[in-house]
């Protein structure tokens, strides 16, 4: 293994020393190398390749431009292998139609709030034993291994079909807003806008009744694409919400460039605002900025009556959380 490490380090150094010129600019390159030993305990080639893949990703995660040696008890590798196991489970769940949609009510707090249902669609997975799995368990793996576009398209298609069936052609007057989450990887796809509009037309969904939620972090990471994507679908009538607002380091500066309809105040501020003055001030400030810009605000993580009273006092437009309503299966929703 020592000789292998020396060889890998020599390869890494050779790559790092390489330079190339393009359009009068000089660029360097790097490499992340995963090193796996083959022993008498090794079962087959697929096991070796799987371990090498995991180890290479670990090298990237630990800083890139390095050699990482596989160790069975390595915590970084164990986490990565856990994510790779989720890839198979997620793919099987898609193939076997084992995802489910839930909804959570978003409560308007103003006396003159518009009529109609307002809720967010939430995703759950049914595992091999029939138990519900919350998204926090599988979304990290889905994002890392590029499975979110397939999942998000399933959510859009299934949500639109379910809404069309529930509201039976009267969706325009009875549904105010259905919020649907989109990952940054998904909305970076140039074909997504056309897909959304085709699905809406197929199921007779008025675009204005749909609000797509994108996280502040994803929007800031690819601001130009985010603006283009939002503007394109807003021209077709869809609305947008900026989720987890306040979590980024430059929130207010970027907000001016993103033509969104809702601000969802980061729940980490909301859930502690009763006892923490700084969190209270953050919620109040974000709400004021939203009001000045004509953007409706939503407080997430409203878990009890005390938090609800505070966000109402501040003047937040909408509240969401277990203190308002728990998530329920979308297909069991009773439309009034």
Out of 22-26, 70-74, 181-185, 285-289, which region has the weakest mean confidence (pLDDT)? 70-74
More confident residue, 14 or 177: 177
Burial 263-288, CB ≥16 within 10 A → b, else e: bbbbbebbbbbeeeeebbebbbebbe
Where does the pLDDT of residue 209 fall: very low under 50, low under 70, confident under 90, or very high at 90 and above?
very high
Q: Read off φ and ψ for residue 107, nearest 5 degrees.
A: -95, 125
Give dist(CA 183, CA 213) in Å, integer.
9
Give the integer Cα–Cα distance in Å for 73 and 64.
Answer: 21
The fourth-level CATH superfamily of domain 91-332 is: EAL domain (3.20.20.450)
What gap in Å lies between CA 303 and CA 308, rounded to an integer?
8
Q: Tens of pLDDT along 73-108?
A: 655 555 555 566 788 899 999 999 999 999 999 999
24-72 pLDDT, tens digit each: 778 788 888 878 877 777 666 766 776 777 777 677 767 777 887 877 6
Among 29-43, 139-153, 192-206, 296-310, the range scoring the smallest mean pLDDT is 29-43
First-to-last C-alpha distance (Å) of the chain: 68
Q: How far apart are CA 143 and CA 221, in angstroms?
A: 15
**Which pLDDT band, with edges at 50, 70 and 90, does 172 fall under?**
low
CA distance 263 to 296: 6
* Phi-psi map region of 108: left, alpha, beta (phi>0 left; psi -120 to 50 alpha): beta
Alpha-carbon span 99 to 235, nearest angstrom: 31
283 within 8 A of 265, measured Cβ to Cβ: yes
Residue 270 pLDDT: 96
pTM summary value: 0.77
DSSP-derived 3-state class of residue 275 = coil
**C-alpha–C-alpha distance, residues 29 and 13, integer Å:** 10
| pLDDT at position 312 | 96
pLDDT tens column, 290-318 = 999 999 999 999 999 999 999 999 999 99
Q: What is the pLDDT of residue 16?
A: 84
Domain limits of the chain? 2-72, 91-332
Share of the chain above pLDDT 90, in %: 54
Mean pLDDT of the chain: 87
Closest by CA to 4, choosing from 50, 55, 54, 41, is 55
- Record: fold of 2-72: Alpha-Beta Plaits (3.30.70)
* Residues sharing a CB contact under 8 Å with residue 185, sequence separation 6 or more, in sequence order: 143, 146, 148, 149
Q: Which residues of 98-128 are buried (b: 16+ CB within 10 A; e: fewer)?
A: bbbbbbbbbbbbeeeeeeebbbbbbbbbeee
Helical residues (DSSP H) of the chain, grouped into ranges:
2-17, 45-61, 75-95, 135-144, 148-167, 171-174, 184-187, 192-202, 216-221, 223-235, 251-255, 267-270, 277-292, 305-314
């Amino acid at each position: 293994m020592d000789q292998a490490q020396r060889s890998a380090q020599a390869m890494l150094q050779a790559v790092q020393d390489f330079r190339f010129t393009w359009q009068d600019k000089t660029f360097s390159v790097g490499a992340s190398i995963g090193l796996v030993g083959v022993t008498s305990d090794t079962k087959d080639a697929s096991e070796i390749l799987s371990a090498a893949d995991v180890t290479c990703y670990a090298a990237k995660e630990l800083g890139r431009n390095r050699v990482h040696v596989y160790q069975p008890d390595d915590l970084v590798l164990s986490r990565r292998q856990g994510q790779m196991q989720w890839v198979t489970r997620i793919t099987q769940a898609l193939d076997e139609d084992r995802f489910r949609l839930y909804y959570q009510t978003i409560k308007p707090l103003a006396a003159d709030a518009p009529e109609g249902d307002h809720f967010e669609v939430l995703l759950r997975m049914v595992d091999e034993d029939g138990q519900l799995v919350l998204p926090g368990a599988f979304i990290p793996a889905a994002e890392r291994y590029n499975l979110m576009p397939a999942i998000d398209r399933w959510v859009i298609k299934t949500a639109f079909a379910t809404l069309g069936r529930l509201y039976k052609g009267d969706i325009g007057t009875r549904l105010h807003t259905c919020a649907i989450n989109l990952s940054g990887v998904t909305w970076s796809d140039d074909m997504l806008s056309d897909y959304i509009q085709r699905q809406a037309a197929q199921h007779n969904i008025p675009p204005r009744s749909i609000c797509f939620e994108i996280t502040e972090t994803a929007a800031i990471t690819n601001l130009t694409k985010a603006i283009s994507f939002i503007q394109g679908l807003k021209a077709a009538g869809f609305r947008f919400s900026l989720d987890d607002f306040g979590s980024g380091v430059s929130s207010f500066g970027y907000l001016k460039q993103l033509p969104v309809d809702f601000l969802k105040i980061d729940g980490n501020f909301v859930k502690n605002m009763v006892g923490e003055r700084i969190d209270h001030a953050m919620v109040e400030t974000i709400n004021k900025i939203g009001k000045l810009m004509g953007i409706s605000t939503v407080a997430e993580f409203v878990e009890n009556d005390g938090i609800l009273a505070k966000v109402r006092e501040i003047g937040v437009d909408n509240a969401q959380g277990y203190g308002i309503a728990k998530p329920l299966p979308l297909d069991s929703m009773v439309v009034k």
